[in-house]
Amino acid sequence: MALSTKPLSGMRQRLPQEFRVEKYVTETLSLSSVLAGFEEYDGPVIEPLALFAAKSGDELVGRQSYCFTDRGKREVILRPEMTPSLARMVAAQGELQLPVRWFSTPLCYRYERPQRGRVREFLQFNLDILGSEKLAAELEVILVLQGIMVSFKAPSSIYRIGWSSRRFMTDALSRCGVKEEHSAAVFSAIDKRDKMSAEKWADLLLGACDNDNGVATQVIALVSVQSLSDNWLVDLMSGSSAFEEVVEFNQLLEGVGIPSAVFSPGVVRGLDYYTGIVFELMDTGGSNNRSLCGGGRYDNLVGLFGNKKISGVGFGLGVLTLTLFLETYGLIPPGVKKAAPADVYIAVASADVVSSAGRLATFLRSQGIRVMMDVSGKKLGKQFNEASRYGIAFVVTVGSEEVASNRYKMKNLTDGTVFTGSPEEISRELK
């Protein structure tokens, strides 16, 4: 029986045209990071299950993971996210210069039902600062995120960076009457607010608040707050240091001037390890309702590896989700998909000049010219057609006469003109 020509559901497969689009996106992410002094790293896809079981949350590890026992009887997992591996790498470098500013674009794995923007094998861009507890670190990663959107020429009207603070919310929920034992459930409910109808969500929240209507009403008021100068909020948070930090961070953002950054108490992010400021990037147009990016401060992750305590802040950004966002708004430059794979095509007139064609190709390539050489052995007309279909602008023909005289005809397929010259002259003409 013939094997299927399809990859497994949710897996990442990229033909050259698709690859070019993905590469445009990942290279723009990379460039924005490099401009901010961040350095690239990478870690293993296969990790000990225990690395994620410790902190990532039950849903991710227990129900959405690719985990198995390897031939050496180790319980392993295909990483569902990058941050725990990053924390380990930093923890292992005793003498490392802190803070570190690192980024990576790893392949990650989650066994979820595939749908638009959600697959099982995905590239997730990650950018983090470890070793600084200052709000300047939060500011810097948000500046990079903002810089990324500017690099993609995304107008600030089409996206929003919503932010809040876990520490602030823990305090605020307590002041709203949420008991400590219900706090995790309420956080989880708040995280699901954008994923269901208002009524269903109100029910979920009420359940999380142990069916206390008064408390649930307070929580709804809290997540609906639009401004840090809201009177009800200021009264509620009187004397809270967590609230003061939030106000301070807001001033930093306003001082730099990032209009897309908006205080949004309903942003709590799903990962268990966040402790401070959290944020996410959303499409404000509604065509892409998953967050494009989520991040925040994690204080206790590096400590899992020993007695060092190193605080970190960073974000993860799904390359596919971002690509769909860019395509929705027409922000992938048309040239990315249509780029020709070579500057010149070498047409080979007969089998006895293949070596000579190879020599010419080698020479032109050594001059930095992208040369596609015919390997089909088809008739010249078909070779010209192939060059044309690829969008290659020039064709140089190699035949026995040309080899004997060392002078070659180069046709410009755009305007039909012909240039004749030695390999050196052809090279100069192409440049």
At its nearest, how many Å lie between a second copy and the CB of residue 256?
A: 4
266: which 2 tokens?
A: 């309903």
User: Does the footprint of a second copy cover residue 386 (CB under 8 A)?
Assistant: yes
DSSP state of 259: T
Q: What's the CA gap between 16 and 23, in Å, rounded?
A: 10
User: Does the footprint of a second copy cover residue 54 (CB under 8 A)?
Assistant: yes
Distances (CA, A) of 329 to 194, 287, 355: 22, 10, 49
User: Does the footprint of a second copy cover residue 23 (CB under 8 A)?
Assistant: yes
**Member of 38, 159, 263, 298 binding a second copy (CB under 8 A):** 38
- Residue 44, φ and ψ in degrees, nearest 5: -75, 150
Distances (CA, A) of 48 to 65, 125, 253, 272, 378: 12, 21, 39, 18, 53
At its nearest, how many Å lie between a second copy and the CB of residue 212?
A: 37
**Member of 25, 60, 82, 137 binding a second copy (CB under 8 A):** 137
User: Does the footprint of a second copy cover residue 43 (CB under 8 A)?
Assistant: yes
Task: Tell me the per-residue interface mask from 178 to 217 with a second copy, x by CB under 8 A, - otherwise.
Answer: ----------------------------------------
User: Does the footprint of a second copy cover residue 380 (CB under 8 A)?
Assistant: no
408: which 2 tokens?
A: 């070659």
DSSP three-state, residue 153: coil
Of 117-136, binders to a second copy (CB under 8 A) are 120-121, 129, 131-132, 134-136
Of 247-286, binders to a second copy (CB under 8 A) are 251-252, 254-257
Task: Return the number of other C-beta atoms located less than 10 Å from residue 64's C-beta.
Answer: 17
**Member of 21, 28, 41, 421 binding a second copy (CB under 8 A):** 41
Of 335-354, binders to a second copy (CB under 8 A) are 341-342, 345, 348, 354
**Member of 124, 288, 356, 427 binding a second copy (CB under 8 A):** 356
Q: Is 293 exposed, middle or buried (0-12, 13-18, 19+ CB in 10 A)?
A: buried
Between 325 and 345, name the residue whose CB sits nearer to a second copy.
345
182: which 2 tokens?
A: 């219900």
HSE at residue 338, side-chain half, CA atoms within 13 A, is: 8
Between 189 and 348, name the residue whose CB sits nearer to a second copy.
348
Between 215 and 278, name the residue whose CB sits nearer to a second copy.
278
